[in-house]
Amino acid sequence: MSRAGGAADGTPLAAAGRGGDEPAAGRRGGLYGLLLRDSVIYGSGRMLQKFLSALLLPLYTSYLTPADYGVLGMVLVTATFIDVIVTLGFDVAFARFFFDEPSDAHRSNVVTTVYPGILLGLLALFMPQISHVIMGQGGYALYFDVALVNVFFTNWSDLAFQLFRLEHRPYIFTVFNLGRIVVQIPLTVVLVVAFRMGVMGVLVGNAVTAFLICMGGLPTYWRRLNWRPDPGLLRPMFAFAIPAVFTGLVFFLLKLSDRFFLMRYRGQKEVGLYTAAFTISQPVYLAMTAFRMAWPQWHYARLHEPERHKQLVARSSTYFLFVCVAMLVLQGAFMPLLVRVLLRQPAFWVVGPTTLLLTIATVAYSAYFVFWTGANVAKKNRLIPVITAVASGLNIGLNFLLVPKYGMIAAAWTTLIGYIVLAALMYPISEHYYPIPFEWARFLKLGAGATLSLLAAWGIAAATHESASMPFGQLAWRETLKLAAVLLFPLALGALHFFTPGETARLHTAVTRVGRLLRPGAPAARAAASGSALPGARGLDAEAAAAEDDELVLENEARLTINEADSPT
C-alpha cells in the first residue's frame, strides 16, 4: 500500500496549500507566528483529547483499582510496541521525502509500504501465550486482542492524518481529532459507568472510535493511493526508514519497558500507580507532539536557504523549549493539587514525586528532538539506532538494579537518565552533519529560572507542611501561596536578560493592548475606536517596528554568513 501526498484537487502542493509558501516579510506574526499558529492548530485537537483523557482520570480512578489500572497500562504499552513494528518507520520517511520535489508525481509515490495485517493476525492467534508471558498469568488474552483491533484501524486512519499535516490542512486535521473526542469520551463513560465493563470498557471504546475515524478518513486518501510505486524512490526511503524502525523499537525500551520491570518485580498495583503518574506528566509531551506536527514542514520548506534555515531552527528551538520548561514549572509547583483533583482514590495520591520526574524526563526528550534536526535534515540517521541503543541499554541495566528495590520512583529516575544520555549523544552527531547555532546561553537561563521557581515552590510546601493527603480545603490555600513562586520564573528570566529587545517590545505591546481591552472607557480606547491619533501612538509604532528586530537580525546573520562563504579567502 502507498501513502501518497498531493493536493485534494490534483494540483501541486505549492498551489493548493501553504506548506511550501513563505509568508511575506511584512505579514503580521512572520515566520514564527506561522509556526506558533500551526503548532496550536495541530496540537489543539490532541490537546483537547489529552485534556479530556485527563478529565477521565477521576472516572478511571473511581471505577478502577490501581491493579485494574495496571492491567490497562500493560495492554496499552504492549499495543504501543506492536504499533512501532506496524508503522515500519515510514511515518518518519514520509515527512522527510515529501518536500524533496514539489511535483505531484513525486509526492504521489513518496511512501509505499505493505500493511502487515498478517502480523496482527498471527499475534491474535498466539495472544493467549503472549499475554500469559506479559502478565505472568492467564485470562487476559481478550484484552490484548481488542487492543490489536485498535492498532489496526488507527494505522489506517494515520494515512489521512499524515496527508492533512503535509498538505497544510490543520483545520480538517483538528476536526477529525475533535470527532475522535466526541465519540470516544461519551462511549467510554457509558461502557465504564453504565455497563460496568471496567478495563474492557476503556479498550472497546478506543477500538470503536478508531474504526469510525478510519472510515471517516478513508475517502481522503483512498483515491490517492498509487498501486505502481517507483522502486527508485522506494529504495532510499526504505533505507531511511529502517533505522527509524530499529530506533522506534529501542525507544520503546527506553520509554516503556519499565512497566514490564514493574509488573515482574512489583505487581499490577505498582504498574497502575506508575501509569497514572505517566498520564499526569503528559502535558509537556503534548506540547512536543504539537510542535513536531507543525515543525517539519515549516523548516523543511526553507532548506533552499541553508544558513537562514539554521538560524530559524535555532530560534524556534528556543521558543519551543521555553514553552516546555514553563509547563514544567507550572506542573511542578502545583503537583499535589493536580494529583488530588485527577486521582480520586487515596491509594493513587503517592504518585506526585514520580510524576514530576517523568515530566522532567519529557523535557529532556524534547531537547533530544531539537538536537536531532541536523542529522534528519542531512539524512544521516544511521547512527541514531546506536545512540538510542546505548541510552536504552543503560536504562534497562538501571531498571534491573533499582526497580526491584525502589519501584516506580526508580523507574522514573532511569527514564530521566536515559533521555539525558540520549540528548547528550545526539547533539555532537547532528552538529557534525548540519551545524545549527543553538542559543545555549538562553537554554542555561531557562534552566536557572525554572530551578529557582521550583525551589521556591517546594520551600513553600515544606514551610506549610503541605501534603497531597490533607483535607482539600487546606491543600487549596497552600497551593495558592505558590503563585508567588511561579511568578519568579518570568521575573528571573527578565533579570537574566533572557528576552531579546524585539521579544520585550512584543510583550510590552501585547500587555498594552490587553490593558486597553480591560479598560474600554479609557480615552486611548475611545480614540482608537474613532481612528484618531493618540499621543502615545508613535511610541507604540516604535515598539511594533522593534518587534521585527529579531527576525531581521537572523536574516542579516544568515546573509553575512552566505557572503563570507562566497567571498575569496
Calculate mean pLDDT across residues 101-126: 69
In a domain, 464, yes or no: no
Pair 406, 515 in one domain? no
C-alpha cell at 318: 528556543
What per-residue confidence (pLDDT) applies to 532? 40
Calculate mean pLDDT across residues 163-185: 81
Calculate mean pLDDT across residues 408-424: 96
- pLDDT at position 495 over 80: yes
Q: Choose the weakest-confidence range: 7-16, 64-73, 166-175, 428-437.
A: 7-16
In a domain, 57, yes or no: yes
Q: How many domains does the chain have?
A: 2
Residue 141: pLDDT band with limits 50, 70, 90: very high
Average pLDDT of the chain? 80
CA proximity to 311, closest of 208, 210, 436, 431: 436
- How far CA 388 is from CA of 122, 252, 255, in Å, comes to 29, 10, 11
Calculate mean pLDDT across residues 406-431: 96
What per-residue confidence (pLDDT) applies to 244? 67
What per-residue confidence (pLDDT) applies to 164? 81
What per-residue confidence (pLDDT) applies to 95? 65
What's the pLDDT tens digit per position in 343-380?
989 999 999 999 999 999 999 999 998 999 999 888 88
What per-residue confidence (pLDDT) applies to 182? 85
C-beta neighbour count of 114 within 10 angstroms: 9
What per-residue confidence (pLDDT) applies to 162? 77
In a domain, 454, yes or no: no
By percentage, how much of the chain surpasses pLDDT 90? 49
- With vertex at residue 198, the alpha carbon angle to CA 197 and CA 199, rounded to the nearest 5 degrees, is 115
CA dihedral (211, 294, 247, 388) positive or negative:
negative
C-alpha 214/C-alpha 176 separation (Å) is 10
C-alpha 268/C-alpha 85 separation (Å) is 26
- pLDDT at position 259 over 80: yes
Structural Rg of the chain based on CA atoms: 25
pTM strictly above 0.85: no
Pair 238, 125 in one domain? yes
Burial 292-312 (b: 16+ CB within 10 A, else e): bbbbbbbbbbbeeeebbbbbb
Residue 285: pLDDT band with limits 50, 70, 90: confident
End-to-end CA distance of the chain: 52
- pLDDT at position 484 over 70: yes
- pLDDT at position 407 over 80: yes
What per-residue confidence (pLDDT) applies to 274? 97
Per mean pLDDT, which of 1-5, 28-32, 375-379, 532-536 is the most reliable?
375-379
| The last residue of a domain, from among 404, 438, 472 | 438
CA proximity to 181, closest of 206, 151, 163: 206
Residues in CB range of 53: below 8 A, 6 or more apart: 279
Pair 418, 299 in one domain? yes
In a domain, 525, yes or no: no
Q: Choose the weakest-confidence range: 69-78, 194-203, 279-288.
A: 279-288
Pair 14, 103 in one domain? yes
Pair 429, 559 in one domain? no
Q: Choose the weakest-confidence range: 204-218, 235-249, 496-510.
A: 235-249
Pair 428, 546 in one domain? no
Q: Is residue 112 classed as helix, strand or coil in its secondary structure?
A: strand
Pair 19, 127 in one domain? yes
- pLDDT at position 266 over 80: yes
| The last residue of a domain, from among 438, 461, 478 | 438
- pLDDT at position 68 over 90: yes
In a domain, 526, yes or no: no
Pair 509, 415 in one domain? no
C-alpha 568/C-alpha 342 separation (Å) is 64
Residue 548: pLDDT band with limits 50, 70, 90: very low
Using a 10 angstrom Cβ sphere, with 0-12 exposed, 13-18 middle and 19 or more buried, the burial of residue 368 is buried
C-beta neighbour count of 40 within 10 angstroms: 15
Torsion, CA 105, CA 108, CA 112, CA 117, rounded to 10? -150
Which residue in this structure is represented by grid cell 510524576? Answer: 355
Pair 383, 505 in one domain? no
Pair 296, 406 in one domain? yes
- How far CA 300 is from CA of 20, 111, 294, 315, in Å, comes to 8, 17, 11, 15
Q: Choose the weakest-confidence range: 85-94, 143-152, 274-283.
A: 85-94
Q: Is residue 102 classed as helix, strand or coil in its secondary structure?
A: coil
- pLDDT at position 62 over 80: yes
Cβ pair 417, 394 in contact under 8 A:
yes
What per-residue confidence (pLDDT) applies to 147? 96
C-alpha 181/C-alpha 212 separation (Å) is 12
C-alpha cell at 517: 481591552
Calculate mean pLDDT across residues 202-218: 92
Pair 392, 514 in one domain? no
| Residue 65 host element (H or E) | none
The residue range of the domain holding 512 is 501-520+536-563
In a domain, 453, yes or no: no
C-alpha 269/C-alpha 66 separation (Å) is 5
What per-residue confidence (pLDDT) applies to 551? 43
C-alpha 372/C-alpha 419 separation (Å) is 13
Residues in CB range of 409: below 8 A, 6 or more apart: 353, 354, 357
C-alpha 297/C-alpha 96 separation (Å) is 9
In a domain, 60, yes or no: yes
What per-residue confidence (pLDDT) applies to 51? 62
C-beta neighbour count of 435 within 10 angstroms: 10
What per-residue confidence (pLDDT) applies to 13? 32
C-alpha 145/C-alpha 543 separation (Å) is 60
Per mean pLDDT, which of 72-86, 99-113, 158-172, 441-455 is the most reliable?
441-455
Pair 429, 508 in one domain? no
By percentage, how much of the chain surpasses pLDDT 70? 74
- How far CA 465 is from CA of 334, 401, 451, 488, in Å, comes to 14, 33, 21, 21
Using a 10 angstrom Cβ sphere, with 0-12 exposed, 13-18 middle and 19 or more buried, the burial of residue 485 is buried
The backbone torsions φ and ψ at residue 111, rounded to the nearest 5 degrees and listed phi first, read -140, 130
C-alpha 516/C-alpha 505 separation (Å) is 17
In a domain, 227, yes or no: yes
- pLDDT at position 331 over 90: yes
Cβ pair 43, 134 in contact under 8 A:
no
What per-residue confidence (pLDDT) applies to 227? 65
- pLDDT at position 42 over 80: no
Pick 104 or 374 by higher pLDDT: 374
What per-residue confidence (pLDDT) applies to 65? 94
| The last residue of a domain, from among 438, 471, 488 | 438
What per-residue confidence (pLDDT) applies to 245? 72
